[in-house]
Amino acid sequence: MTKIKTFDECIAIAGTAKKHLMLGNGFSVALFPSIFNYKTLAENIESDRINCLFDAIDTHDFEFVMRRLLEAVDIVKHYDSSENITRHIHDDIEELKRTLIHVISKSHPPKPSEITDHQYDSCREFLLNFENGNTYTFNYDLILYWVLMHFNDKKELKLPCDDGFRYPYSDEGVSEEELDTSLHWEIGRERGQSTYYIHGAMHIFSDGSDIEKLSYANLGVPLADQVKDAIDQDRFPVFISEGTTEHKLARIKKNGYLSRTFSSLKSITGNLFIFGHSIRDEDDHVFDFINQNNKRLKMFIGLYGASSEAPNRVIISKIERWRKSFPNKKFEFYDTSSVDVWGKSSDT
């Protein structure tokens, strides 16, 4: 029988070595369960074409639909000599990507004040367990960013939150009005980075070469509103929304920020705690990379609910395969309900 420990027990097992955190969608769902789930997102789809696809496949899962479309391309190309059908499917794939960005932006809480001070404080206590390590997130939303920024101006409460974005070098020959005051990520200037968005995020944009981060400080406009305005102008965030692990990895390799985020996973030492992630096959590119390139890293995998529940049986079965493939590596399970990330057990 699989032994499920508490979060505190796993923290104790990790000891004094560095502790890193990897967040999945469950981190945001735990705070806003009616917003950050595929069913709610699917209900906000405005495209008739994409709605028809979801109805035909009978799902609310964006990645599942993406996988089916990619599989359809692989099959149809053997029969579609004119490539007309293949082009239509590729058009739907691109529309599905844009749709996911639109619905996340539309559904997203508008302001950081949607999170209470009590919730901020509780989440800070959780994140303090990892203050000497890196934080990785698969999430596109702004929740982690809001938590980090909430304490950023309070020296005694500030959390490590270096995401690698910097102001450009100033040019003495440029007037103050013409200076670029936006935040950019550049290879060679990211030293000290400790916060990583594995698949991109709502507030990170790229024109193909330059990688820029939107921030409240620059414009004084709520970040969620800035994102919506940018999308309305056909500027889209860096989002890895491909349906298969192979396609996701291919996209990551084409983006300097994402590829550097990815490669950093092989150099972290100590312990990695995974919270709110179902270890889906679509993210095998991340977990396979960690297991193959970082064989001494201890991994603690969070389970939500009883170990006998179907989703957890899938996770446990997968980790057991990891144990056989990497016998010298330590894997432990912990109950995510044993850590109160958002202070729900003591709501005030």
Confidence of residue 200 (pLDDT cuts 50, 70, 90): very high
What is the Cα–Cα distance from 60 to 37, expressed in whole angstroms? Answer: 9
Q: Which runs of consecutive H residues, i.e. helices, occur in the chain?
A: 7-14, 26-29, 38-43, 48-57, 62-76, 84-107, 117-127, 143-150, 216-219, 223-232, 245-253, 256-264, 284-293, 310-325
- The residue count of the chain comes to 348
Confidence of residue 173 (pLDDT cuts 50, 70, 90): low
Digit-coded pLDDT (tens) for 102-120? 888 888 898 999 999 999 9
Higher model confidence: residue 222 or residue 335? 335
Sheet bearing 195-197, strands edge to edge: 4-5, 331-335, 298-303, 271-275, 19-23, 135-137, 195-197
CA torsion angle 157 163 165 167 (round to 10): 10
Six-digit token string for 72:
């359809």
The highest-confidence range among 46-50, 56-60, 249-253, 303-307, by mean pLDDT, is: 303-307
What is the Cα–Cα distance from 268 to 34, expressed in whole angstroms? Answer: 34
- What does the pLDDT read at residue 219? 61
177-189 as b/e, with b when 16 or more CB fall inside 10 Å? eeeeebbbbeeee
Digit-coded pLDDT (tens) for 279-335? 999 999 999 999 999 988 999 999 999 999 999 999 999 999 999 999 999 999 999
Q: Model-level pTM?
A: 0.87
220 Rama class: left (phi>0) / alpha (psi -120 to 50) / beta: left
Digit-coded pLDDT (tens) for 2-34? 899 999 999 999 999 999 999 999 999 999 998
Residue that is written with structure tokens 């735990």 in the block: 30
In degrees and rounded to multiples of 5, residue 244 shows phi and psi of -120, 155
| Residue 187 one-letter amino acid | I
Confidence of residue 218 (pLDDT cuts 50, 70, 90): low
Q: What is the mean pLDDT of the chain?
A: 89
